Structure 1
Amino acid sequence: MLGRFLEISLHTPAIQASLEFYESLGFVQASVSETWPYPYAVVTDGRLFIGLHGGFIRSPALTFVLPRLARSIEPLRAAGVSFAQERLGNDVFNQVAFDDPSGLCIHLIEARTFSPPDSAHITTSACGYFTEFGIPVRDTAAARAFWEPLGFVAMEEESVPFPRTPVTSDLLNLGLYRTRALRQPVLSFEDPDMRERLSRLRERGFALSDEMPDSLDDTTNAILEAPEGTRLLLMQSEI
Structure 2
Amino acid sequence: MSERSHLLGRFLEFSIHTPDILQSLGFYKLLGFQELEIGDVWSHRYAVVSDGEINIGLHDGKFEGSALTFVHQDLARQARSMSKHNFDFQYLKVDQDVFNELGFLDRDKNMITMIEARTFSPADQETDDSLCGSWFETSLPVKDAMRAAQFWAPLAPELLRLREEPTVHMRFNAAEMSLGLSESIALNGPSLCFRCDDKDAVWTTIAKHGFKFKEFPGFEGAFMALQAPEGTMLYLFKEDFLGAGYEVAETDEQEEEPNGEEE
Tell me the TM-score normalised to structure 1 length: 0.89
Residues 1-239 of structure 1: pairs in structure 2 closer than 5 A: 1-120=7-126, 122-154=127-159, 155-159=161-165, 163-169=168-174, 171-191=176-196, 193=197, 195-204=199-208, 205-210=210-215, 212-213=217-218, 216=221, 221-237=223-239
**Secondary structure, in 3 states, of the residue corresponding to 2:92?**
strand
Asked if structure 2 preserves the Cα contact closer than 8 Å seen for 1:127 and 1:197, the reply is no
Is the contact made by 1:194 and 1:234 (CA closer than 8 Å) also made in structure 2?
Answer: no
Contact 2:15–2:67, Cα closer than 8 Å, also in 1: yes
- Aligned equivalents of 2:211 and 2:189: distance in 1? 21
Deviation by residue 1:123-157 (Cα, 9 ceiling, x = unmatched): 11000110111111111111111111013423322
Range that drifts further, 166-175 or 87-96:
166-175
Query: Compared with structure 1, are the counterparts of its residues 215 and 15 closer, same or farther at alpha carbon in structure 2 (3 Å cutoff)?
Result: closer
Cα 1:140–1:18 change in 2 (3 A) is same
Please give the secondary structure, in 2, of the residue aligned with 1:74.
helix
The 8 Å contact of residues 69 and 110 in structure 1, kept in 2 or not, is answered as yes
Unaligned runs of 5+ in 1: none
Q: Report deviation, 1:198.
A: 4.1
CA distance in 2, matches of 1:215, 1:2: 28
Shift of 1:101: 1.0
Deviations, residues 139-198 of structure 1 (Å, cap 9, x unaligned):
1111111111013423322536x542222245211111111122111111113x354354
User: 1:8, CA displacement in angstroms?
Assistant: 0.8
Structure 1 residue 65: Cα displacement: 0.8
- Supply the RMSD in Å over aligned alpha carbons: 2.1
CA deviations on 1:186-239 (whole Å, 9 max, x unpaired) are 111113x354354334333333214732763xxx61110001111111112178
Distance 2:32 2:173 in 1: 25
Whether the aligned pair in 2 keeps the contact of 1:38 and 1:55 (CA below 8 Å) is yes
Aligned residues: 233
Is contact 2:156-2:175 (8 Å) kept? no
Q: Distance in 2 between matches of 1:237 and 1:67?
A: 36
**Conserved? CA contact 2:11–2:174, under 8 Å:** no
Aligned residue for 2:154, secondary structure, equals helix
Residue type matched to 2:20 in 1? A
Q: Which amino acid aligns with 1:110?
A: E
CA distance in 1 between partners of 2:46 and 2:9 (Å):
22
**Corresponding residue for residue 4 of structure 2:** none
Structure 1 CA distance for aligned equivalents of residues 62 and 10 of structure 2: 23
| 1:36 counterpart letter in structure 2 | W
Q: CA offset at residue 117 of structure 1?
A: 3.0
CA-CA distance at 1:77 after TM superposition: 2.0
One-letter amino acid of the structure 2 residue matched with residue 91 of structure 1: D
Q: Distance in 2 between matches of 1:229 and 1:166?
A: 23
Q: 5+ residue gaps in structure 2?
A: 1-6, 244-263
